Amino acid sequence: MCHPDVHDVEIASEAVEVPEAIVKMVEALESFYDELVPEHENDPRDVFVDGLKRALLQAYAMGAQDSAPMYFKPRFEHVEQDEGYGFFSREHRLAPLFAKKTAR
């Protein structure tokens, strides 16, 4: 389930419209966590998902500001599968944080 605050993030008193690709990434993270971790009484799901959601949105918002360093600009080009970076181009310096390496 997607939280209502996913679509807008406030950075430096300015609301930044978040593209659908980021919203879908957050929804995918939520469903991934649901499959990965069985439910129990002290479920840390909200802390985990909210932390990742905030990190993604903040990185995007920083990239949306003109003064942000180039490496925060979001890029979603596909690269060859053997590089193992999925949605991130090889220039994206945040890619190693999110990338899932493929078996070689």
pLDDT for 92: 45
Cβ atoms < 10 Å from Cβ of 6: 18
Query: In DSSP terms, which residues pair with 72 in a beta bridge?
Result: none
Give the residue with greater pLDDT, 66 vs 17: 17
Look at residue 3 in the predicted model and tell me its pLDDT. Answer: 45
Using one digit for the tens of pLDDT, what is the confidence trace for 38-60? 666 666 666 776 777 777 777 77
Maximum CA extent, the chain: 45
CA distance linking residue 11 with residue 83, whole number of Å? 33
> Residue 103: pLDDT band by 50, 70, 90 thresholds?
very low
Annotated domain spans of the chain: 4-68, 74-104
Could you tell me which residue, 7 or 64, shows the higher pLDDT? 64
- Cα 51 → chain centroid: 10
The 3-state DSSP class for residue 7 equals coil
